[in-house]
Every structure is written in structure tokens, then in C-alpha cells.
Amino acid sequence: MGSKIGKSRISNNIRKLRFYHNEMTQEQLAEKVGVTRQTINAIESAKYSPSLELAFRIAFVLDSPLEEVFIYEPKDDPI
Amino acid sequence: MSYKEKNVAVSLVTFTLILGFYLKQITHMWRGGGLTDDVFGLWATVVVMGIIATIILTIIAHIGFAIFEVIRTGDDDPKIDDSEDERDRLIDLRGTQVAYLVSSIGTLLAMLTFALGRSPYVMFSLLILSGLVAQVMGDIFRLVLYRRGF
């Protein structure tokens, strides 16, 4: 399982999926989705939640469904 | 550290130095018999310093970063990514919001001193001060967001 993003209980598997895609580097992924390497690093290390569009682009490049790349965990949700 | 983050750090250093200069000058004026027309001269100096220092320090910083990249990568012509993405824009926006808030409070306080009967020089000095502090606070907030995340 990937890391938590902020307090939003969203985890991600980007690091693992990059590894499964010929050990794609953060720089390569960043170039393909049109952001800086620092932004990919921030997303992976739970310091930034990407926009919906960027999330879709990352999922597309990693050839995985969005819910496999980003996972929402509503365990403490008051709903 | 990204290109944009480095620019924010350069801006923070520049405006902190200018703020220090301004506080030193205004304190000197205050102790020398109160604020006079010289405040307007100081305002002009601060604006000119802000423009020139930003340009010079940005150039020096970029040269420094380029040299660092050459040493780090061993490449004579290193690729420097100066692109801006959604995270940079969002951080810049939040920094600007903080700067506006600080600037608004400063302006209100400046108006209040005038309304309470203080000299317009005091109000003008506080307006300049709030502008400089707002810029510094905005840059600090941007760096915090870059480092800590959000």
C-alpha cells in the first residue's frame, strides 16, 4: 500500500506502479503527465493531492484504473 | 528544490534584506526628531531597491544554480526545468492570499493611526511597512507549503 495524502485518507500506489512500468523514474512520469519531478515526489510522499485531471493523467500513463492508483479510505467518515 | 521554489527563496531573501534596511532607516528618522518628507524619499528608495535587488539577486541565483547543476550532473549544458505546474500555481495563489491578508490588516492599522490623529507620515510609513511584511509573509508561507505539503 502506498502513502497517505495529508488528512484526506487517500493513499496511492504510484511508487509501486512506476516500478512495474519498467522501473519508470519520477522524472519520466513527470514528463509524461506534464508536471515537474518535485510535484510527482510530493504526490508520492503525501505532501500534495493532485487535481482530478492530473490524477487521471497519472492513471492513464501508468495504464491502471484511477481507483488502483489512488485509494480513498473512508474508515473514520462520520457519514 | 524546484526552480519555482528557488525563486521564492530568492524573493524572501531580497525582501527580508529590504525590510531590514527600511526598519533601520525609519528607526533612524524616528529617533532623529520624527518622520518628515524624507519618508517619501525612503519609499522611492525601497521601490527602486526592490526592483534592482530582485533582478540582480535572481540573476546571481540562476548562475549559482546553473554552476551547481554542472558540478552535480557533470554535464556542461545541464537541462534546467523552469516549467510551472498546477502545484506551483496553487502554492503561489495561497501565498498571495496570505500577502493580501497581511497587507489589508496593515492598511487598516495605518488608516486607524491617521484617524486617531497621528501624522500622515506615520500612516504612509505603516503602509510601506505592511507591503514589505506582506511580501515576506507570503514568501514564507509559500516555502512552508513547498516543504511541508498541503
Indicate if the pLDDT at residue B1 is higher than 60.
yes
Total domains in the fold of chain B:
1
Fold of the domain built from segment(s) A4-72 = 434 Repressor (Amino-terminal Domain) (1.10.260)
Average pLDDT score over residue span B78-83: 74
* B80 or B150, higher pLDDT: B150
Q: Stretch B8-12: mean pLDDT, rounded?
A: 92
Q: Is the pLDDT of residue B50 over 70?
A: yes
Q: How many residues does chain B have?
A: 150
The residue in chain B having the minimum alpha-carbon distance to the alpha carbon of residue A44 is B149
Residue of A nearest to B147 (CA): A47
With a cut of 80, say whether residue B75 has pLDDT above it. no
Average pLDDT over chain B reads 90
% of chain B residues with pLDDT over 70: 100
Task: For residue B2, give the chain A residue with the closest CA.
Answer: A38
Q: Which domain holds residue B94?
A: 3-148
Helix/strand/coil (H/E/C) assignment for every residue in A7-71: CCCEEECHHHHHHHCCCCCHHHHHHHHCCCHHHHHHHHCCCCCCCHHHHHHHHHHCCCCHHHHEE
Mutate to test the interface with B, among A12, A33, A38 (most CBs of B within 10 A): A38
Average pLDDT over residues B29-52: 86
pLDDT at res. A78: 58
Residue type (1 letter), B40: F
Size of interface A-B (CB pairs under 8 A): 38
Question: What are B65's three cell numbers?
Answer: 544554480
For chain A, what is the radius of gyration of the CA atoms? 12
The answer, for A35 touching chain B at a CB cutoff of 8 Å, is yes
**Helix B120-148 × helix B86-115 angle, to 10°:** 160
Whether the per-residue pLDDT at B30 is higher than 50: the answer is: yes
CA atoms of B6 and B19, how far apart (whole Å): 20
Check CB contact under 8 Å for A35 and B150: no
Within 8 A of B150 by CB-CB distance, chain A residues are 6, 47-48
Core vs surface per residue B69-90: b (16+ CB within 10 A) or e: eeeeeeeeeeeeeeeebebbee
User: Which three three-digit cell numbers place residue B106?
Assistant: 496593515
Q: Do B87 and A48 touch (CB under 8 A)?
A: yes
How distant is the Cα of A6 from the closest Cα of chain B, in angstroms? 6
Helix (H) or strand (E) holding A4: strand A4-5
* Residues B135 and B141 sit within 8 Å (Cβ to Cβ): no
Per the document, the length of chain A is 79
The domain ranges of chain A are 4-72
Q: Give me the pLDDT at residue B2, please.
A: 81
Angle between helices B38-73 and B3-31 (to 10 degrees): 150
pLDDT in tens, chain A (79 residues): 444 444 557 789 999 999 999 999 999 999 999 999 999 999 998 889 899 999 999 999 999 999 999 988 776 655 5
pLDDT of residue B49: 87
Q: How far is A27 from chain B (nearest CA, A)?
A: 11
Nearest CA in chain B to A37: B2
